[in-house]
Amino acid sequence: MIYNLYIYNKHGVCLLYHEWKRPNITAGSAMADQKLMFGFLFSLKQVVNKLTPDSGMPGFHACSTNKFKLNYYETATGLRFVLNTDPNCGDMRECIRYIYSAVFVEYASKNALYTAGEPLDNEQFLFALDKYVRSLPAFTSGAA
């Protein structure tokens, strides 16, 4: 099951938050929730960088609890994609890469009306994203 998606730019601005299913509604505003998530990613990245041995590129892909899994993809341009799913979903990196290349690039980067750093509220973008995510086998798997 796919829960939700966050997209941040390199300055930590949340460009998109989209929710398909969120079993646990957190208290507080959407803004606070997005900041909390970014803070978590930021700290986790610091930890990962500290723990990674010298050889090898640092970078984490996912972390999970018994209830959910956080799938993470960061581009060289500093875009961060966070896709939360149920813990039984396999490797979602390919899916996030697809969202980056076929949705973000096509409907945001190539869209002359989109200014970098603005929230992504373009209808076509959201439509393409929603269509892709709903087509994933992981979207329906594990549904209770």
Partner 1 sequence: MAAQRPPYQRLGDVAFSKVEKVNAELFTLTYGAVVVQLLKDSEDVEQTSIQLEKMGYNIGVRIIDEFLAKANAGTCTDFKETGEVIAKVAFRMFLGVTVDCRHVVEPNAPADAMPAFHLIIVDNPLVDFVELPEHCSTLAYCNLLCGVVRGALEMVGMRVETKLLKDTLWGDEHTEISVSLKELVHEQYRDDDE
Q: Which spans of this chain sit near partner 1 (rule: CB under 8 A)?
A: 10-12, 42, 57, 75-79, 97, 100-101, 104-105, 109-110, 116
- The nearer residue to partner 1, 23 or 40, going by C-beta atoms, is 40
- The nearer residue to partner 1, 40 or 42, going by C-beta atoms, is 42
Q: Min. distance of Cβ 100 from partner 1 in angstroms?
A: 5
- The nearer residue to partner 1, 38 or 87, going by C-beta atoms, is 38
Tell which residue, 23, 15, 27, 11, has the closest CA to residue 82: 15
Angstrom distance (rounded) from CA 5 to CA 133: 10
Q: Min. distance of Cβ 112 from partner 1 in angstroms?
A: 9
- The nearer residue to partner 1, 100 or 139, going by C-beta atoms, is 100
**Strand arrangement of the beta sheet that strand 14-19 belongs to:** 14-19, 2-8, 80-85, 69-74, 62-64
Radius of gyration of the chain (CA): 15
- The nearer residue to partner 1, 78 or 142, going by C-beta atoms, is 78
Q: Min. distance of Cβ 37 from partner 1 in angstroms?
A: 14
Angstrom distance (rounded) from CA 97 to CA 121: 20
